[in-house]
Amino acid sequence: MSLSPAQKRPDTGNPDAAAGRPEPAGARGYDQIRPETSRLLRFATIASVAVAVMLIAAKGVAWGVTGSVSVLSTLIDSLMDVGASLVNVFAVRNALKPADLEHRFGHGKAEPLAGLGQAAFVAGSSLFLVIEAVDRLITPTAITRHGFGITVMVFSIVATLVLVAFQSYVVRRTKSLAISADSLHYKGDVLIHGSVIVSLLVNANFGIGYLDPLFGVAIALYLLWNARIIAVNALQQLMDRELGQEDRDRVVAIAMAHPEVRDIHDLRTRSAGPRSFIQFHLELDNDISLHRAHEISDDVEAKVRAAFPGSGVIIHQDPEGVIEHRASFDGEKGC
């Protein structure tokens, strides 16, 4: 049934304002991603691409000078980093778009999709590296200019550590899967660069050339393991895995802290990129008015949103003790 213009209420994005009640301070846009989160995510993706491009240039020169498979392995890894980081740029840009008519839960799942893309990039580079290392074992090639290669690896470690420190800060503030996945393989890069330094030192001082391709194979296996972790985390989000038990317990504690809340049930949670979605039923006294039930629900909702900034929260009010169907989940011991 369509309403006439006179019957339609203005769409303010807030139920209180739509009902003619004063709009609470800060209510407008309460379910949108915070500007600070957007800035951090965008800057983190740009920083990742910039560092990867810088390392590609340095490692390309180092590989040309030394001929080391270990150095080549880090060059290939950085090439994959650029590809993965570019995927992140577009994924995060899409994930930060506000909800629209066709995506009313927002675009947050662009992040786990980017995570799967990153896993594919990392796995592909690992397999290429194994092929190159095996070929070098069969047809050994002398490594030269060890000192130059070591200098480039030390520079790479410093640059990567700075990037990882910043990414870790962003992940703590935003819980972004895309940045977390990006940070995971950059953390692996620190170990990779360290192993290459060991390989070059051993070759320079003891002339043991076969260690170089063996290190390349070991690095490839490590990258494959990282690819598996990234893919599993991405799939968990795409499959709407619940938030951690600690976060679920926080939701329950916040709801039960209100003196007029009798109980909580049917708690469901999930995440999509930087946003969380939380819904549950509140059990309230049988004799209170609908208006009072709404006020209690709003108060609990505001506290949950404060604990999970930018989250989408849906609360259903039930009279205490009402007999109704309740959702049941395999392995559930409570809310």
Which domain range does residue 246 map to?
242-319
Reply yes or no on whether the pLDDT at 19 is more than 70.
Answer: no
Say if residue 284 is in the same domain as residue 173.
no
| pLDDT in the model for residue 250 | 92
Among 55-59, 184-188, 227-231, 256-260, name the one with the lowest average pLDDT: 184-188
As a whole number of Å, the CA-based R_g of the chain is 26
Number of domains observed in the structure of the chain = 2
Mean pLDDT for 226-255 is 86
**Of 206, 238, 270, which one is at a domain's C-terminal end?**
238
* Nearest residue to 29 (alpha-carbon basis) of 284, 38, 300: 38
Say if residue 190 is in the same domain as residue 275.
no
| Domain presence at residue 252 | yes
| Domain presence at residue 205 | yes
What pLDDT digit, counting tens, does each position of 130-169 carry? 776 777 677 665 566 677 878 888 998 999 999 999 999 9
Q: What is the mean pLDDT of the chain?
A: 77
CA 245 – CA 326 distance, rounded (Å)? 20
CA 220 – CA 132 distance, rounded (Å)? 11
Structure tokens at 180: 């977390």
Q: What is the pTM of this model?
A: 0.59
For the domain that residue 206 is a member of, what is the CATH number?
A: 1.20.1510.10
| pLDDT in the model for residue 24 | 44
Give the best-scoring range by mean pLDDT among 44-53, 69-78, 240-249, 255-264.
Answer: 255-264
With cut-offs at 50, 70 and 90, classify the pLDDT of residue 328. low
CA 90 to chain centre: 14
| Domain presence at residue 315 | yes
| Proportion of the chain above pLDDT 90, given as a percent | 19
What pLDDT digit, counting tens, does each position of 166-190 carry? 999 988 888 777 787 778 778 777 8
